[in-house]
Structure 1
Amino acid sequence: MPMMQKTNKKIKTVPVFRQLLTKNRFKKKKLIFISASFLLFYGILLFSGQSNTFTYRINPAQFSPGEPAERDLVVEKDFTYIDQRATALKREAIEMLSYPVFSVRDEITRRVLDNFDRFTEIITEGLSSSYSSEKIFLQIQAALPGYFMKEELIPVLSNKRILDIFSLTRRTLKDLQVGGILGIGTGGGAEKSDYFEVWRWVNGKSEKENVFRNDIMTLQKLPDYTRTYFSGENIGSYADRETAVSLILVFAAENAFYDEEQTVRNRDRALRAMEPVVRKILKGEHVVKKGFVITEDDFEKIKALGNHAASVNLQVLIGNALFMLLLFM
């Protein structure tokens, strides 16, 4: 069997690393060439007159409110902007028109009327049963401790028309409590507001009413209000009216309190629905004239023009860049 002969012929090879290096050098040169071409054409595009907006520059720092303008500033094309100053004033007005909410607590109203009814029951039963004033006083103290001093019951027990007074007093007391006796001074800016939004439950339905400060009822207003009110009623003598007033003052209670959570919700809802103040400036309009004092409104326009120009310039730069990329792809 013939023997295979060995050959010493050498195969010429190129190291893999050298191949990669050669290819990478070629790619690097190609990348540099493409990048340089891209920048060159991009620069030509920007400054060849096809990008006039790029030269539209406004520097608000060159203008100051309260100072005379050093040059005319004329709008080169129509544009709209949000008037931040007017929008802030609008926001402030809406916040002020969102009145503090006061919710009437029905459970307090029921408690007040229940206590008054219990009081009249004791008096009526005591008088019909000819109880002594001492016994009637003790019964009242047991049912309503701390409501009356002994001497305060004398005008009630000695009044011949007390049952009629009870009827009128209860009706008035109910109207006052259902309407709401507000507890002012509970924070949240309620002390400074001229109007209040009062929430009540009337016949099982929620009712809202905006009430002027002078028309709200407070414990401090009760004495004058009830005396004036009862003077117009056919209630009898001055002593009868004073008895009715004293009973109102004993049993009436604050039952409408500041509802911070609802107040904030109302205010936030109103602000979310608010539209910003949008202004339009027309081409050729003078924003300021040289030598004229720059007002706050003028300066708002200048800032808007500056922001608009910067935005347009950025859009042009990006648009041109995308256009060049499409050409080189």
Structure 2
Amino acid sequence: MKIMKKLRLKIRGWRKKYLDFSNNTYKIIWALFFFVLISLSLSLDLIPNQVDLRAGQVSQNDITAPRTITFVNEEKTSELQREAAETAPRVYEEDSTVKEEVFNKINNFFESINQKRESFYLNQISQVETDSNQEKKETDSEKEIPAFEKINFSESEKNEIINLIKKDLDFEIKDENLVSLIVLSKSELKDLKNKAINILEQKLDNRILPSDLVAVRVDLRQQVMEMDLARNKRLFLADLVESVISANMFLNQEATAKRREKAVSEVEPVKKTVRQGEIIVRKGDVVTEVDIKVLEKIGMKKSGINYYNIAGRVLISFILFSVLGFYFYKYQRKIWTDNSKLILIELLILIVVILSKILILFQNPFVDYLVPTAMASILLTVLIGSETAVISTLFISLLIAPVYDMNFNIVLTSFLAGLIGIFSVTKVKERGDIIRAGLNISFILAFLIGGLSLLQQNQNLTYLIWSIGAGIVNGLLVGILANGLLPYLEDLFDLTSSVKLLELSNPSQPILKRMLVEAPGTYHHSVIVGNLAETAAEDVGANSLLARAAAYYHDIGKLKRPYFFSDNQFGGENPHDKTSPNLSALIIKSHVKDGVELAEKNGLPAKIIDIIKQHHGTNLISYFYQQALQTNKHDDIEKKDFRYDGPKPQSREAAIIMLADITEAAVRSKRFNKNNHDRIEGFVRGLVKDKLIENQLDQSNLTLSDLDTIVKSFVKVLTGIYHQRVEYPEKLLQEMKGGN
């Protein structure tokens, strides 16, 4: 359940991001997008052939070779040639200069170190002698310089020496290794150089391919790290030999290419012979790619795109799309202005067209009767309305006609199946009704397809049975697909079906169960408001199911602070006695906002969320307003602070729930004889009249006649609730209690 809830919330987020468009630009973009997709779907595989077969189809006849022909199996031959080229040995040549280049790098590196640090060392001695004002001595270039390990270069001098050394390098050595190196003596440096040359010489005496370099470097580092040297020397030596080692074997591209060409040329072409009269494809066999190749070689399959056919199908699609769009623009403005509903219609049309293209691949006249046009008809009826479903069903039936080469039987069965589906779900009450609609379609199609078969004077009993079976399967398939897609389409396009409303009206819903436990008074109030709203909505022709479901959830915001509302106080302490009127009014108002947040968190439909927002309109919280006027000694009390934020009811259902809400609360709290029908009616009429005068019903589309009907409906329900009960005789009471 949690996974499905998260999925629904993700779908809603996607819908808000990509489908909530209100201007005509996006309307045109989506229309063009779906038109292109449908045109492409209709135009696929329109390549006429001498033998109209494609890979994967079942051949309806035996296809025999008209003559003997021998040809090269290019695919098999190419495969063998690729294998020969890949297995041909590569040609490598040794580069004898690599070893010399590596040793030169080592020698130059150590020579550079000696030169750079000797220069700094001499400068250091010269500077010391100058500062001591001693007599300057000539420096003998042949004279041995004292051991460098006794000289301490400053950090800046070390950095400068390192920078000078790195300028002469054509490989990378880490700075920390160079720092530890420049303070070593000449003898130590010479020893490190000899060790590096010895290790590298051992490696370079062997063949080193470019692909072997990584492994060679790892081996060199391991050898160095196992030497009996100080850690800093081992790290430097490992860094050095890894940096200068190079491959001494290189791929001879030209020689390798020639060897591959020779290997490919030695492959014998794979030939295939088809003799005259030989069966290429047997009746009932699935055509393979090899069969198609044979047909092409033998000249029985000619390729060529029929652009006239494609243009005709695109033109038909354009005309049908234009007519459908004009119909919605002219006669169903609510659909035309709602982009999400237009996209839903286009999406279902596209799904049916694609499914019809998939079914035609079977090249079987029985499978053709499985086109699930009625699936779109049922879903559109449940989610939008029967008028939209009828015109869309006609559009789909005409659109798939070119797919089946203008087969009248397919068009007729698709349209009639759609109509049956529409009639079957006009007043759907539960998901089982959709399955029953599929069974209705199966029943009617069985007779319809049987009649069409007899009309064609087809006396083949097998054909008749298979055709009727296809019609029966069509209905079952439609029921399964429609039932499965319905909840996802509801969430994706934020449409509320009667099935969804019935599910939300179930008392086992988590929010309702929570309200029953945490706010039982509010729950009882909501149930009665639901009864009032449902009866009144049905009497005035509004959506009674929406009115009942929305009434159950209109006060869920009270769950946040249930004890602040009189419904749930049950004669206990009133927390408002300890708060100011302004704060009390703010708390009372906040239950609307809290209800909206809770509804969005639990994924309730937008229609119910809108009613939660609107069920109090901009009504004044008069009790706390009057209390504020009495307790406040200043004139700073403003009515707007004691009004709900609104908006006013925007639909008949929202207005009915507003009236049912105040009616139930007022009648329950009013102290008068509730058994008096006239007293209740007069009281209810006064409440409705007040809201009418306050202009709370201006945007709800309710007429005065509707309001009169609503009052009568409310009174009928209330008198049923508060009717006077018959007093049972004492003897009957004893019998009911089990007495003697």
TM-score (norm 2): 0.23
**Bigger helix fraction:** 2
Q: Which has the higher contact order (CA 8 A, sep 6+)?
A: 1
